Structure 1
């Protein structure tokens, strides 16, 4: 632990050791289940039913992933997911940040009323049927923009960004106004550069929500070519599990037919989890460092 550890008192050493053990156990609780899913996704499902597979496949196989990717809609579904995640995240973060910058101002007329309205939407909603009727009335059902436009604003993300903006010292904004900056210039050149931590957090929230959302594609889109990856995989998983159960029942005691069944509903589920989770896992390290980074330290001297 370094030479500094030996300079601590016995109580401080005990506290550090306990903290280290708790963090280590927490990491194991997160990593080990993921390794188990990874191992099962690369192992034939029929063999995995025997048990004994924990963190490494007993028999390496790509059959589960082959079963997922043979779907003719996978390519277009991946493109739809990438489109909605990239465009939806960028537009939502930018517009939410602009709205948060507006309602953080105490001098804006009606700011308390607008803040109350925003908070009210976190407590109540109209329900799924009125929501569907609204989408249909504005021609967003069975339209790729149903993934983008309704999710442009999130009351929770707006409040998070507003709270962070309010922590930025007012003298920075006052100095910018003295230099002739208008509101948009202050927002782009002063507020946003100092708000990388909250922007990173809200960006990750939006990206994960867009990438994992299967509900919108399943209930508001009829065209299979417009459905995102999560929806296609969820439908594929449901149909595969039903098909495997039917095939198992039909096979009965026909062991030759049973031996040919290598992909099970559970193994397909594991492969689906890995496919959906991997992009987020790859992106997360690039934004994680902003979460607790104090970029405001040293930015202002009184």
Structure 2
């Protein structure tokens, strides 16, 4: 804590110590379970059932991952996930930022009404059945664009963008208009370059949402070739659970078959978590410095 710690009063020292203890406990509560997941993912499932595996595999093995990647459609599912994450994130961030830039103007006719209606959508929804009927009427079911178009705009992300834009000094736009810039030029050449922190934060949130979303592929897609990685792995996990239950209920071949199975439903679950989480973990370090700035949006006013 440095020499400054010793200059603090007793109450300030106590406050800092309690803060550090709570932060360390919070970090351990997140890191230790994830280390346990990694250890179980790289350990044979049959061996893991004996217990005693915490943060390091007893026997290193890739059986769980080999089983997850055995299906021929895993490559197609991975490409679908990449497409929806890449295209969906870029389109959503750009269009949401453009809408927020328009709505941040105090001179926009009906601006308060539009913001009220946007906020209303955060509180109330039409339900899953009307939503499905709407997608079907728009011919988006069994269509890869069902992953992108319905999620182009997010009310929460729009409010974050709008709050950030309102903190930018008005003189930036005024000087640009004197130089002959129109609204779109100001947005692209001035506002967007200055908005890298909030863009990085919203992009991360949007990408994680697209990558982890299995619901859309499970309920609005019937074609196997259009299912994303999260949906495919979810189905594999459910199949493994069903197979395990079937074998447990079998009387004749139960013992022999269970002894041959090295991948269990629990070990497959752990491998699934690692597969889904790894791409996001690899991306996060590149946006971390912007993320730290972006989470402060709205905390200070001029």
Bin the TM-score by the shorter chain: over 0.9
Give 2:89's aligned residue.
Answer: 89
- CA 1:291–1:258: 2 relative to 1, 3 Å: closer
**CA 1:249 to 1:115, structure 2 compared with 1: closer, same or farther past 3 Å?**
same
1:32 aligns with 2:22: no
Q: Distance in 2 between matches of 1:227 and 1:155?
A: 26
CA deviation after TM superposition for structure 1 residue 253, in Å:
7.3
Query: Following the alignment from structure 1 to structure 2, what is the Cα–Cα distance between the partners of residues 50 and 251?
Result: 22
Shift of 1:155: 0.7
TM superposition shift of 1:250: 2.5
* 1:193-243 per-position Cα deviation (integer Å, ceiling 9, x unaligned): 221221111111110110001111111111100000000000110011111
Structure 1 residue 14, shift from structure 2 partner: 2.9
CA contact (8 A) 1:84 1:148 kept: yes
1:111–1:7 CA distance, 2 compared to 1 (3 A): same
Contact kept? 1:251, 1:257, Cα under 8 Å: no
In 2, Cα distance between equivalents of 1:101 and 1:13:
45
Q: Corresponding residue for 1:206? A: 206
Partner of 2:299: none
The residue aligned with 1:125 is 125
Alignment RMSD: 1.9
Alpha-carbon distance between aligned partners in 1 of 2:133 and 2:174, rounded to the nearest angstrom = 46
The 5-angstrom pairing of residues 249-288 of structure 1 reads 249-250=249-250, 255-288=255-288
| 2:122 is the alignment partner of 1:101 | no
Contact 1:39–1:54 (Cα < 8 Å) also in 2: yes
- Map 1:216-227 to 2 at 5 A: 216-227=216-227
Alignment gaps of 5+ in structure 2: 297-301
Aligned counterpart, 1:180: 180
CA distance in 2, matches of 1:15, 1:202: 33
Count of residues in Structure 1 that have an aligned counterpart in Structure 2: 297
Identify the residue that residue 299 of structure 1 maps to in structure 2.
none
Written as runs of structure 1 = structure 2, the 5 A alignment for 1:14-29 is 14-29=14-29
Aligned twin of 1:115: 115
What is residue 230 of structure 1 aligned with on the other side?
Answer: 230
Taking the aligned partners of 1:133 and 1:251, their CA distance within structure 2 comes to: 46
TM-score by length of 2: 0.93
Q: In structure 1, what is the Cα distance between the partners aligned to 2:153 and 2:174?
A: 28
Pair 1:60 & 2:60 matched? yes
Q: Does structure 1 retain, via aligned residues, the 8 Å contact 2:248–2:254?
A: no
Deviation of 1:9 after TM superposition, in Å, equals 3.6
Q: 1:252 & 1:34 partners in 2: Cα distance?
A: 38
Give the superposition deviation at 1:77.
0.1
Residues 86-136 of structure 1: CA deviation (Å, up to 9, x unaligned): 010001000000000000001111111211221111122221111111111
User: In the alignment, which residue of structure 1 is the partner of 2:289?
Assistant: 289
Q: Distance in 2 between matches of 1:275 and 1:222?
A: 23
Report what 1:141 is aligned to: 141
1:251 is displaced (CA, Å) by 5.8
In the alignment, which residue of structure 2 is the partner of 1:76?
A: 76
Please give the alpha-carbon distance, in whole angstroms, between the structure 2 residues aligned to 1:80 and 1:65. Answer: 20
